[in-house]
A and B are shown apart, each in its own frame.
Chain A
Amino acid sequence: MTSATPATIPAARTGIWGWMTTTDHKKIGLLYGVTAIVFFVVGGVEALFIRAQLALPNGEVLSADAYNQMFTMHATTMVFLVVMPLATAFINYFLPLQIGARDVAFPRLNAFSYWLFLFAGLFLTISFFVGGSPDAGWFGYAPLSTQLDEVVRMDYWALGLNTLGVASIVSSVNFITTTLTMRAPGMSLMRMPVFSWMSTIVSFLLLFSLPMVAVGLFQVYFDRNLGTLFFDAAGGGDPVLWQHLFWLFGHPEVYVLILPAMGIVSEVLPTFSRKPLFGRNFVIFSGIAIGFMGFGVWAHHMFTTGLGPVAEAAFALTTMFIAVPTGVKIFNWLGTIWGGRLQLNSSALFAIGFIFLFVIGGLSGVTHSISPADSQQHDSYYVVAHFHYVLFGGAIFGVFSGIYYWFPKVTGRLLGERLGKWNFWLMFIGMNLTFAPMHMLGLNGMPRRTYRYGEGLGFDMWNLVATVGSFVLAFGVLLFLMNAWRSYRRGEAAGDDPWDARTLEWSTTSPPPVYNFAHIPEVTAEDDFWHRKYGVDEQGRAARRDDYVPVDQSTPPPGLHLPSPSYYPILGSFGIFMMITGLVYVPWGLLATGAGAVVTLWGMFGWSMEDLVREHH
């Protein structure tokens, strides 16, 4: 066992091969983040096409066929290839840092999740070039999704989603194991930062919900390709079965999308208010409550399906009451700001914007739980307005808050504040211009997923406003991309702890060394890093400790074991990519499936045979 000099550590891990074989959770987090941003642009362009088509009555920008592909892929992209991987990016990068670990529990499995996610995303993208993208909605209601057996579009959808699901299940297992086994000494579960808590809850939600939709997606695939009749009423199947399977996943999924953002805001607001999170345990437990209750509300997506009044009433009630833990969080964030000294920078603005918009989305959500009212709102633009307030105003604003917050930790440079404010206000105004009018459109009777609408129904003005808003929004996002690029190249140096923050990731260097912490921190309190820097004075105000000395985290201790780079994760996931591509083109494609199976097995075999740690530092 020889001790290498620090200089050799990055040398073995740079360049394109370095990225392809990396098992470093931070690099994998970055790969997730950058990939998700690319897909965010793709999904955004799809959205702009949709809005361009709907700007005027009887729009002719897109054909009906193109429009149906566009909205199917917009949703599929934004849910599975943007918001989920953005959350995974943050979890990957910051969960180990926040709990004082050197990496995740299974570094190669982590790489495998990313590559599988990337290949599944590419797989869905390929469909566009070989006969058209999926076109039966992101929710793929059977039998529409199973009847279009002449084309392969929905095969791409079913297989692509299932593969993304595998990637998510794998990373969930990884994150759960990481939080349960790799916390620094003294970091009890209740001392874990709230973002790490939300990440763990999300991982459990994915672990339990994805298998349900996986079953359904296989059934869709079998109905389409093997002649099974799971969802064919005439053959004794039941189309409603699909809806149950999909929404049993689909509703926990909503919380999968929003809880990480809630975790981010719960980190950002205390830091910039210079106060601990108000009612921290309430926030954590309401997150757990949301997680549990999230499994008991799925049928509120099916109020018009014909479940009978008993089920309708029951799900109306559960849906109403999930608003309670959600409301608790909002009040606690208010309590955090209250009496603080809020530094209103871009990150804080996005966090405040998140609360403002999420309140609107939450309240319109309560109007859905009134199931008779939902029978009017369901599948109308009112619903589109609602979930964009939750998922754009909520999840995306939360993520942007997180990007402004953690960019300096990741790059060592601050994200520009001037462009940041422009970015926020354009997105905030654009977002409201785009989605607020959709409330009116829905109540005025405009159904969603319609490629055109006639004149004289009162849809004209609001649609035009929404389209204008969507371009303002897009411009805001463009400014963000410029800002990120410029700041990455020549932004202001951040230092290790630019925000005087509270959690462990700020106690190491920016960017963190490959081993995260030279000395694993000993945790003695919630917000341990803060308590090392600050005590309280007689009036209960924070007071800088005179004796605080930052720990030098930049010199690696001898004998440090780091996970070795490995080619096998990317190899194994490429095999799966070959398998699913082959499955689209039955029967001849099965040759590719067979070859893919061999490649995957090769990857798995090599993986289990290779030395765990080949480098010693």
Chain B
Amino acid sequence: MKQAEHQRRPGRRSLPILLILILAIAASGCSTDLPQNSLNPAGPAARQIDDLFWLVFWIATGIFVLVESALIYATFRFRRRRDDDTEVKQVHGNTRLEIVWTIIPALILAAVAVPTVATVFDLRRAPEPSENALVVNVIGHQWWWEFEYPEYGIETANEMTIPAGRTVYLNITSADVIHSFWVPQLNGKRDAVPGRINHLTLTADAPGEFLGQCAEFCGLAHADMRHKVFAVPEDEFEAWVAAQQEPAAVPTEGLAAEGWDTFQVVCTACHNARGATPTVSREVIGAEGGEETVFEVSLAPDLTHFGSRTTIGAGTFTWTEDHLAEWLDDPSSLKPMTPERNDLTTGRILGMPDFDLSEQEIEGLIALLEAWQ
């Protein structure tokens, strides 16, 4: 009888194999070489997290296969056959079994807890002075990122350049609502909370370009608040810093000069071009352990070296003259913003208004911004 039953359903033994196969296919979908992939770590922090994830993933997979196989097996094995009206044994429970299947999961979890707690403390460790960490202040705005390099007196927006191999220590806060800074290949995410300073360490193993985007819902254009991290060799980084430290050059002739005239009238209420325009900023206070730090934050992305960037609209569009022309013509057509709610007295800027620029003015501005390498 048992034998006959077994022969009727030869697929029974292959059930766990099938489940593993499905998971394997699914897992293969993750391990591709994608630029914003948390499973493709490119730094020690992300790798530490990734290792922990896979440890738990495989334990979970084992449990998944066991439990689901048992469920499917039991469902088929103990299902009622047509016209089968025999009654079954009335089993109420089995205390020993119950205790076993309470304790075993508890033990597995206790085993997982050890590396978890160790990793938590490890990842939250501030870098030692000997690590010569680069400090970058990260300030979230609706809907762009401000990156300040306090050691060098420079500031960029949405694109962060870091020296590969060196620890970067981020002070993260927000100028308005809560955002979350996330570069999956380098580390987990960390919220930018107004009034607080949070930290994250980023270390890139090797030069490369890493994508990220805001991970905490922050309003209308949350999806279009993206960022990039460029890890470059140390000497390139020095050169980059030196270039960024140059003030914005005021052009005296050509299309760019026309653009400069427009820029001074239209753009300087919110945007800074260091050395060329009066600085507009506001204070944001971040507290940590009872100590307050004052950040002088920009109202809108600093444009001093805008021409050297690769994207516009907070990482949403590639830097091309066409995109920039569209942007200058009607910014909200490319990225949803609410400039009608801008308040210059408090410095709360929620998007670039449509200034009704003429084609001539737009061309001038593009030439100017392109020149600000």
Bound together, the chains give a CA A446 to CA B29 distance in angstroms of 14
Please tell me if A575 contacts chain B, counting CB pairs below 8 Å. no
Contact indicator B30/A440 (Cβ below 8 Å): yes
With A234-B194, A439-B26 in contact, do A280 and B36 touch (Cβ < 8 Å)? Answer: no
Min C-beta distance of B371 to chain A, whole Å: 28
- The stretch that binds A, out of B172-180, B227-235, B237-245, B250-258, is B172-180
Task: Report the minimum CB–CB distance from A255 to chain B (whole Å).
Answer: 18
**A373 at the A/B interface (Cβ < 8 Å)?**
yes
A304 close to B188 (CB less than 8 A): yes
Q: How far is the CA of A612 from the CA of B95 in the complex (A)?
A: 49
Query: Nearest-CB distance from B23 to chain A (Å)?
Result: 10
Q: Is the CB of A376 within 8 A of B74?
A: no
Tell yes or no: B89 within 8 A of A by CB: yes
Chain B residues closer than 8 Å to A359, beta-carbon distance: 64, 67-68, 71
Decide: B88 and A367 in contact? CB cutoff 8 A: no
Q: Report which residue of B53, B119, B121, B223 has the largest number of chain A beta carbons within 10 angstroms of its beta carbon.
A: B223
Which of A171-179, A324-332, A411-419, A482-490 lies at the binding interface? A324-332
Residues in B whose Cβ lies below 8 Å from that of A341:
78-80, 84, 86-88
Q: Does A334 reach chain B (CB closer than 8 Å)? A: yes
Q: How far is the CB of A216 from chain B (nearest CB, A)?
A: 15
- The count of chain A contact residues (Cβ–Cβ below 8 Å) is 102
In whole angstroms, what is the CA distance A26 to B218 when docked?
Answer: 44
Q: Does A343 contact B (CB under 8 A)?
A: yes
Q: How far is the CA of A44 from the CA of B121 in the complex (A)?
A: 42
Q: Which residue of A lies closest to B27 (CB)?
A: A440
Q: Which residues of B contact A324 (CB under 8 A)?
A: 102, 105-106, 109
Closest to A309 in B: B124
In the bound complex, what is the Cα–Cα distance between A251 and B187 (angstroms)? 26
The answer for the CA separation of A240 and B192 in the assembled complex, in Å, is: 11
Contact check, B49 vs A372: say whether CB atoms are below 8 A apart.
Answer: yes
Interface string of A36-57 (1 = CB under 8 A from B): 0000000000000000000000
Contact B217 A449, beta carbon cutoff 8 Å: yes
Residue pair B190, A375 in contact (C-beta under 8 Å): yes
Q: At the interface with chain B, which of A98-106, A421-429, A508-516, A538-546?
A: A538-546
- Contact A328 B67, CB 8 Å, known A274-B87, A371-B116, A376-B188: no
Does any Cβ of B come within 8 Å of A316's Cβ? yes
A97 at the interface (CB under 8 A from B): no
A313 at interface, CB cutoff 8 A: yes
Asked if B216 CB lies within 8 Å of chain A CBs, one says yes
CB pair A371–B120 under 8 Å, yes or no, is yes
B93 touches A372 (CB 8 A): no
The yes or no answer to A355 lying at the interface (CB within 8 A) is: yes
Instruction: Please indicate the chain A residues that have their CB under 8 angstroms from the CB of B120 in the complex.
Output: 309, 312-313, 316, 371-372
A445: which of B36, B78, B79, B191 is its contact (CB, 8 Å)?
B36
A330 to chain B, nearest CB (A): 7
Kindly identify, within residues 82 to 116 of chain B, every residue whose CB is under 8 Å from any CB belonging to chain A.
84, 86-95, 97-98, 101-102, 105-106, 109, 112-113, 116
Most buried by A among B72, B86, B214, B220: B220
Taking the complex as formed, is B270 at the interface, i.e. its CB lies under 8 A from any CB of chain A? no
Query: Of residues 146 to 200 in B, which have CB atoms within 8 Å of A's CB atoms?
Result: 176-178, 180, 182, 184, 187-191, 193-196, 198-199
Query: If the complex has contacts A239-B194, A328-B98, A366-B60, are A378 and B211 also in contact, measured as CB distance less than 8 A?
Result: no
Query: Known: A372-B49, A449-B217, A457-B35. Is A367-B189 also a contact (CB below 8 A)?
Result: no
Q: Could you tell me the distance in whole angstroms from the C-beta of A62 to the nearest C-beta in chain B?
A: 11
The chain B residue sitting closest to A71, CB to CB, is B217
Q: Are B121 and A313 in contact (CB under 8 A)?
A: yes
Q: Name the CB-closest residue of A to B49.
A: A372
Across the two chains, which residue of chain A brings its CB closest to B124?
A309
Name B's interface SS: mixed
Assembly CA distance A376 to B180 (angstroms): 11
Contact in complex: A304, B189 (CB < 8 Å) = yes
Q: Which of A5-13, A139-147, A199-207 contacts B (4 or more CB under 8 A)?
A: A139-147
B-chain residues with CB within 8 Å of residue A458 when the two chains form the complex: 32, 34, 36-37
The 8 A CB mask of A209-248 against B (1 = contact, 0 = none) is 0000000000000000000000001100011100000000
- Decide: A372 and B48 in contact? CB cutoff 8 A: yes
The answer, among A147, A275, A305, for a CB contact under 8 Å with B177, is A147
With both beta carbons as reference points, the residue of chain B lying nearest to A319 in the complex is identified as B109
Across-interface contacts of A313 in B (CB, < 8 A): 116-117, 120-121
In the bound assembly, the distance between CA atoms of A572 and B371 in angstroms comes to 69
Write out the residue numbers on chain A whose beta carbons fall within 8 Å of the beta carbon of B116: 313, 316, 320, 369-372
Q: Which B residue sits closest to A137, measured CB to CB? A: B217
> Are the C-beta atoms of B90 and A542 separated by less than 8 Å?
yes
Across the interface, do A342 and B90 meet the contact criterion of CB distance under 8 Å? Answer: no
A371 to B105: give the CA distance in the assembly, Å: 19
Given contacts A144-B177, A240-B193, A372-B120, contact A443 B109 (CB under 8 A): no
Cβ of A379 within 8 Å of any chain B Cβ, yes or no, is yes
A150 contacts B by Cβ under 8 Å: yes
Task: Provide a sorted-by-A list of 8 A–B residue pairs whose CB atoms are within 8 angstroms.
Answer: A68-B222, A278-B94, A279-B98, A313-B120, A363-B63, A372-B52, A374-B188, A376-B53
- Give me the 10 closest cross-chain CB pairs, A-B, nearest first: A375-B188, A233-B195, A445-B36, A450-B223, A279-B93, A306-B198, A458-B34, A64-B336, A542-B87, A233-B194
Given contacts A304-B216, A312-B124, 13 further A-B contacts (CB under 8 A): A65-B220, A68-B219, A304-B180, A306-B196, A324-B109, A327-B105, A337-B78, A338-B74, A356-B68, A363-B64, A373-B188, A375-B189, A458-B37
